[in-house]
Amino acid sequence: MIEFRRIKKVYRTGSQSLEALRDLTIEIGRGEFVSIMGPSGSGKSTLMNIIGCLDTPTEGEYVLEGRNVAGLSLDQLASIRNKTIGFVFQNFNLLPYATAWENVELPLLFNGKKGKQRRERVAELLKAVGLLDWKEHRPSELSGGQQQRIALARALANDPPLILADEPTGNLDSKSGEEIMALLSRLWKEGRTIVMVSHDDRIAAYSQRTIHLFDGMLAD
Amino acid sequence: MNLTLLRFFLSEYRKRRKKAALITFALFWGTMSIIIFLGFGQGMTAQFRISFSGLGQDLIMISGGQTSRTYQGLPKGRRVYVYPTDIDYLKARIPEIDTIAPESYNNWAVSARRKEINRTVHGTTAEFARMRTQIPRLGGRFINPDDVRDGRKVAFIGWKVARDLYGAEDPIGQAVVVNRVPFTVVGVLEKKLQDSMYNGPDADQVYLPFSSFGQIDSQPYLDRIHIRPREPRYSLLIEERIRTLLGRKYRFDRDDRYALGIWNTIEDAKEALAIFKGIEVFMGIMGALTLLIGAVGVTNLMYAVVKERTQEIGIKMALGARRRVIILQIVLETLFIFVKGTFWGFITAFNIIQLVRRIPVNYDSFDIGGYLLRPVFSLETLFIFLAVVGILVFLSGIFPAVRASRLNPIESLRYE
């Protein structure tokens, strides 16, 4: 599913340069549930951004589902993000002015899904996360746990094989966090690949395998 | 592009509408300027056409002159006259002539019902009516060929003459005495705008059949020959041929510009129309520049919108929005802002034009009002306006939109 071959990421600001990832080689198989842990500054976010096709490596090869991502155009990367990857963020990142329904609908609109098919899909997703009755509410009218469930429904809109979760429970109380983790586990059991960043051992315990990063390299 | 996506953009725009009253006002004002300026510009051109055709349409007028060069031993300073025989002479030799009419005139006392006024009285033929826009009021007619053939004592009078002699009464069928000879009024000139003339406006003139005029006037030569070419483009050719033919007949140099008086209204109209067109274009540009001020405001607003929504743009990018979706949304919002501002400007300008058109034009004396009181709202105005707005929407929207589409998704997601 995900192959990192000698990935290097260097950030340059003026004359200074910072190596966020150094010769990182990772392989994550289809259907795996992997968590990434490490102290801040260890390169977790950079790694997630590259996996999520939001950023490109400075050197090395990144192959996603057999496709080399390096050298793809911005629109091709957007298309991969739309169809192959579902994002779940720590701070939910819902559109504040859009309703729950519209937030879930957005990736389907970007994918060009037509009327009835799209509406059925949105209803199905909202039902799956138990928030169909809240479809007309805006994020500010929902609790943190509800917002994250909406975000999860949105991540699943185009039925992507890969879910990237960046501290998905970081802003939630423990009960809501458990609900989200239960949902993620269910998705994993349905066959999706899940990559999750967390610094909480209890949350990481939901995954099959943990990758520890330190200073842009594997810690073990 | 998905219709629902457009609807989504519209609903986002509505929810997030910026308070931008000043910008809306600038667009309103700019729209008013462009439509009203274009309307008055086109109206002036149209009024010029109308008032210029008050004299006549596609007209060349020939009158006698005085030689300014010696020719074949003849001295300069000789008077040159045109005569009634020249009518058939020219018509037979210049096939490009469509119609030709003679005109002689004299100042005489004109009286009716114990009122006497002094007016210019003309003798001419039936063709004159069409060439010199002599449109009779309902119930009357101009001099006709039978009048001329039989030397009938009939007269066609200007509407001011009718008013001066008969007041509110209908002069048709009534007697009018010209130079102590009684005539019957057969027609009154309909009111018209006339900005060019030689003996005062046609409203003040009296017209008699050419033959009848000859019976009370002893002048052997014509004052004017009126010619209409088959097509306007022949006008200069006809002018040259007349100089050649009459030069040969009356022995003057064809290049002597003073031997004949030639008033070529076709060439005059061309020049004047070019000037009016220039004014029209100038006014259009002024209007467009006024609207540009509003457009600059919109660009500013859209940059602010992009900045404010950086994070949302980042979210959309993460969810797979392509660059063109981001661009489209910003450009469409620019369009919405424009539509709101320009719509009311458009309605207001349209109504102002219609109101101004209701102000009556003064036919008694031709003044600037004749040009200004008939602004036009034409399809052309609409197209020019839409084109200008289209260009401005694109220009004001595209730069903020492209900036938005170039945002880095990671940095945008972190933007607070």
Residue B267: alpha-carbon gap to chain centroid? 15
8 Å CB contact of B413 and A78: no
Question: From CA B385, how far away is CA B29, in angstroms rounded?
Answer: 13
Chain A residue numbers with beta carbons less than 8 Å from the beta carbon of B317 are 54, 78, 81
**Confidence (pLDDT) at A34:** 94
Smallest Cα distance from A112 to chain B, Å: 6
Residue ranges of chain A with per-residue pLDDT less than 70: 220
Chain A residues within an 8 Å CB radius of B309: none
Closest CB to A82: pick one of B312, B320, B324.
Answer: B320
pLDDT tens-digit series, residues B236-293: 999 999 999 999 999 999 999 999 999 999 888 889 889 999 999 999 999 999 999 8
Contact A107 B318 (CB under 8 A): no
- Mutation for A interface: B14, B17, B311, B315, most A CBs within 10 A: B315
Euclidean distance between CA atoms B124 and B105, whole angstroms: 9
d(CA B206, CA B110): 9
pLDDT for residue B2: 67
b (16+ CB within 10 A) / e for A85-112: bbbbbbbbbbbebbbbbbbbbbbbbbbe
Residue A158 with chain B: CB contacts under 8 Å: 320
* Alpha-carbon gap: A29 to the closest alpha carbon of chain B (Å): 23
pLDDT per residue as tens digits for the range A157-216: 999 999 999 999 988 998 999 999 999 999 999 999 999 998 888 888 899 999 999 998
What is the Cα–Cα distance from A43 to A212, expressed in whole angstroms? 10
Other beta carbons within 10 Å of B278: 11
Q: What is the largest CA-CA distance in chain A?
A: 54
Q: What residue ranges do the domains of chain A occupy?
A: 31-45+73-218
Q: Tell me how close the Cα of B20 comes to any Cα of chain A, in angstroms.
A: 19
Nearest to A122 by CA among A85, A163, A162, A157: A157
- CB contact under 8 Å between B4 and A52, yes or no, is no
Q: Read off the pLDDT of residues B133-181 as tens digits, 9 standing for 90 and up.
A: 999 999 999 999 999 999 999 999 999 999 999 998 999 999 999 999 9
One DSSP character per residue, chain A reads -EEEEEEEEEEEETTEEEEEEEEEEEEE-TT-EEEEE--TTSSHHHHHHHHTTSS--SEEEEEETTEE-TT--HHHHHHHHHHTEEEE-TT----TTS-HHHHHHHHHHHTT--HHHHHHHHHHHHHHTT-GGGTT--GGGS-HHHHHHHHHHHHTTT--SEEEEESTTTTS-HHHHHHHHHHHHHHHHTT-EEEEE-S-HHHHTTSSEEEEEETTEE--
pLDDT for residue B1: 56
Name the stretches of chain B with pLDDT < 50.
Answer: none
Q: What is the pLDDT of residues B49-58, one digit of tens each?
A: 888 888 888 8
Nearest to A99 by CA among A129, A142, A155: A142
Q: Chain A residues with CB inside 8 Å of B316's CB?
A: 95, 106, 110
Distance CA A88, CA B386 (A): 45
The dihedrals phi and psi of B315, each to the nearest 5 degrees, come to -60, -45
Question: Mutate which of A50, A81, A95 to test chain B, going by most B C-beta atoms within 10 A?
Answer: A95
pLDDT of residue B199: 83
Chain position carrying tokens 């080399």 = A68
Strand order in the sheet with A162-166: A85-88, A162-166, A193-197, A33-37, A209-214, A217-218
Distance CA B156, CA B174 (A): 11
Quick one: fold of A31-45+73-218? Rossmann fold (3.40.50)
Neighbours of A23 (CB within 10 A): 15
Please give the C-alpha separations between residue B404 and each of A152, B2, B174, B288, in angstroms, as whole numbers: 26, 20, 82, 27
Token output for B324: 């063109």
pLDDT of residue B8: 79
> Touching check for A207 and chain B: CB below 8 Å?
no
Within 8 A of B6 by CB-CB distance, chain A residues are: none
Is the CB of B322 less than 8 angstroms away from the CB of A110?
yes
Q: Which residue has the tokens 């995954």?
A: A207
**Sequence-ordered list of residues with C-beta below 8 angstroms from that of B340, at least 6 positions apart, any chain:** B24, B27
Residue B82: CA atoms inside 13 Å, Cβ hemisphere, count? 28
Q: What is the structure's pLDDT at B53? A: 83
Calpha distance A202→A172 (Å, rounded):
14
SS3 B321: coil
Interface test with A, best of B5, B305, B319 (most A CBs within 10 A): B319
Q: Please give the single-letter amino acid code of residue A35.
A: S
Q: What is the pLDDT of residue A112?
A: 86
Run of H or E including B105: strand B97-112
